[in-house]
Structure 1
Amino acid sequence: MDLKISVLDQSVIRKGDHASIALQNTVKLAQITEELGYHRFWVAEHHNTIGVAGSSPEVLISHIASKTRKIRVGSGGILLPQYSPYKVAENFKMLETLFPNRIDLGIGRSPGGSPATRLALTDGVRRSLNDFPRQVKDLQGFLNNELPTDHPYHEVAAYPVPERAPEMWVLGVSHRGARVAAENGIAFTYGHFINPENGQKAIDYYYEHFQPSNLLSRPKVNVCVFVICAPKQEKAEEMALSLDRWLLLVERGLDTRIPSIEEAKRMNFTQEERKRIQENRKRMVIGTPAKVKDDLLRLSELYQTDELMIITNVYDFHDKIQSYTLLAEALK
């Protein structure tokens, strides 16, 4: 099986850097991975966090697409419960019109942060996450301008109208997301980098229950995983120390800027923290090109997919570029 590789980049800010550098590096990474043959480049949405610069994927997608030529660019993902499906459809139909056959609309059910952050996003309107399946149907309807005749917004169309709708994906970390994707005939992305435990069950459910739609005739899956690749195993393990420490900070809602390897080495981790680091390592593939290739091929077989999305959060940008480069060369 030929394995396609894609990129998810969160525009994580290094300690000592500014957000502008993180965003510039995201654009550079898109340009470099395009030349290396990566299939897609997705950006994330995070709010009220000092360590992640990517708060507006629509704006960043437009900029990246204008700085690249052919790589698909998209969201991983838009936090739909906080927004109007109509406005999301308008934004992504505009992007697809500007950059034909290059735009992916990935959507997620995440609340987007703390309760106060979520209320700020919705301007004080309290919305239930249980509305997500209904919002997904509405979004599909607006993308195709095919809402049911009894829908209250049936006469409302989303413009502009591109030659084709952007490619739509549901992001999930359990069978709940898989169910929404399957029942609505939408491609499904599983976040192994978030939850490595439930992926096989979720994807099995998706394949078994998929219903074709106007957007997708056959099931389509990709899986996102943390990857750190280096010429030697020792170097890869050293690079991973920054990610180990960063994940502990993220999980505790602390300073989410990514720390240096030197800072991580100075840390005296508690027994509980060491246990958590070992658990988090299940979310990662770390090693030489040969080892990483073998591990990713096994993951693709486990998850029944021919596409993996690679997320590489390390401190040094040159190490990051080398990791993506070595991986691309290993999978040629």
Structure 2
Amino acid sequence: MIKLSVLDQSPVSSGSTPKEALKRTVELAKLTEELGYHRFWVAEHHNTNGLAGSSPTLLMTHLASQTSRIRIGSGGVLLPQYSPYKVAEDAQMLENLFPNRIDLGLGRSPGGDALTRLALTDGVRKSLTEFPRQIQALKGHLEHNLPSDHPYYGVTAYPLSETRPELWHLGINKRGARSAAELGISFTFGHFIYSVGGQEAIRHYKQEFIPSSYQSKPKTNVCVFVVCAETTEEAEQHAKTLDDWLLKVSKGGDTTISSIEEVRNRSYSEEELKKISTNRPRMIVGNPAEVKQELIELQQKYDNDEFLIITNIHDYEAKKKSYELLAELFPQTSFLKETDENV
């Protein structure tokens, strides 16, 4: 049985507002909890008008308070912009408030262009190559076992908690998979970002996984765009707003999601049409039977434990319907008992 989870970037649709986007994220968390989804993750983006989720830990706190069962997580906290110690404190605060419900997904993305990144670090230049070291330090703070020669040995991350968040290493290649394996934490492959190389990355992660105090076995999920509707034609209609949005994101500037009508009235160059076609392998689009078959085939390809579903389309009602149809295709009731035991 395929286990389903959600990634929501709090996308802003044209004609709407960031406030409405965040409200819809909360509504979607409640809905997908009712449908039996396992996790609900939110993202971190900066200096972009089309994605309202700039502070995952703040949003996670609110989402966890508005739900009772579903795991709430980050997909992810962009660790290079922060102190591992401060992230550990935030994680332990969340664990104290919502024990056994917090996932901490960690990404190495710069979070924006060069100027935005400098603004995030207040002018301090940080190397992305430090990411594995930062995760190791974060683990040390959460486990309270920093080595005696560590520069911050003796500094304790409070408030102490009886439980720890699940740690997930986000990645799109074998380098990220190798890092997750060496650290002994879970691995997320971003198929929705880069649709090639994931099979090799996940295989490498599983082969090289080193058991840790966090987990004895490897655990994987794959994040993929999915647009599911009652008919193929309807799904394609909504997917065109995702096609257009991905094109806008690649150009920068306005990153709100255009409506079906706006997209229909837009003309694309040959180069843009080629880019849209190139992006299509990052998503699964179709009626329930088509989507089910493609997800099954994708799991057979990756041999992953879970899917993280992201649906960035303009029509919010159609977005909810897509998640509802997926839950009907892959009933999640068999996982509810497992989740209840952790609450």
What RMSD in Å do the two structures reach over aligned CA positions? Answer: 0.7
The answer to whether structure 1 residue 206 and structure 2 residue 205 are counterparts is: yes
Aligned to 2:171: 172
Unaligned runs of 5+ residues in structure 2 are: 332-343
> How far does the alpha carbon of each residue in 1:218-259 deviate from its partner, in whole angstroms, 9 at most, with x for none?
000000000000000000000001000000000011200000
Shift in Å, 1:216: 1.3
Secondary structure class of the residue paired with 2:126: coil
Shift in Å, 1:62: 0.3
Aligned to 2:253: 254
Q: Output the CA distance in 2 between the equivalents of 1:194 and 1:222.
A: 14
Aligned to 2:335: none
Residues 142-291 of structure 1 mapped to structure 2, 5 A cutoff: 142-291=141-290
Aligned to 1:327: 326
Shift in Å, 1:306: 2.5
Aligned to 1:308: 307
Shift in Å, 1:268: 1.0
Shift in Å, 1:297: 1.1
Superposition TM-score, scaled by structure 1 size = 0.99
Instruction: For 2:167, give the aligned amino acid.
Output: M
Q: Output the CA distance in 2 between the equivalents of 1:331 and 1:105.
A: 25
Instruction: For 1:27, give the aligned amino acid.
Output: V
Shift in Å, 1:161: 1.7
Q: Output the CA distance in 1 between the equivalents of 2:61 and 2:163.
A: 17
Mean alpha-carbon deviation: is it higher for 224-233 or for 304-313? 304-313
Q: Output the CA distance in 2 between the equivalents of 1:143 and 1:178.
A: 22
> How far does the alpha carbon of each residue in 1:263-286 deviate from its partner, in whole angstroms, 9 at most, with x for none?
111111111111111111100000
Unaligned runs of 5+ residues in structure 1 are: none
Q: Output the CA distance in 1 between the equivalents of 2:200 and 2:275.
A: 23
Paired residue total: 331
Instruction: For 2:308, give the aligned amino acid.
Output: M
Aligned to 1:78: 77
The answer to whether structure 1 residue 134 and structure 2 residue 136 are counterparts is: no
Shift in Å, 1:139: 0.5
Q: Output the CA distance in 2 between the equivalents of 1:274 and 1:130.
A: 35
Instruction: For 1:196, give the aligned amino acid.
Output: S
The answer to whether structure 1 residue 43 and structure 2 residue 42 are counterparts is: yes
The runs of 4+ residues in structure 1 deviating greater than 6 Å are none
Greater relative contact order structure (CA < 8 Å, 6+ sep): 2
Aligned to 2:30: 31
Q: Output the CA distance in 2 between the equivalents of 1:158 and 1:214.
A: 18
Q: Output the CA distance in 2 between the equivalents of 1:291 and 1:148.
A: 52
Instruction: For 1:120, give the aligned amino acid.
Output: A
Aligned to 1:114: 113
Secondary structure class of the residue paired with 1:94: helix
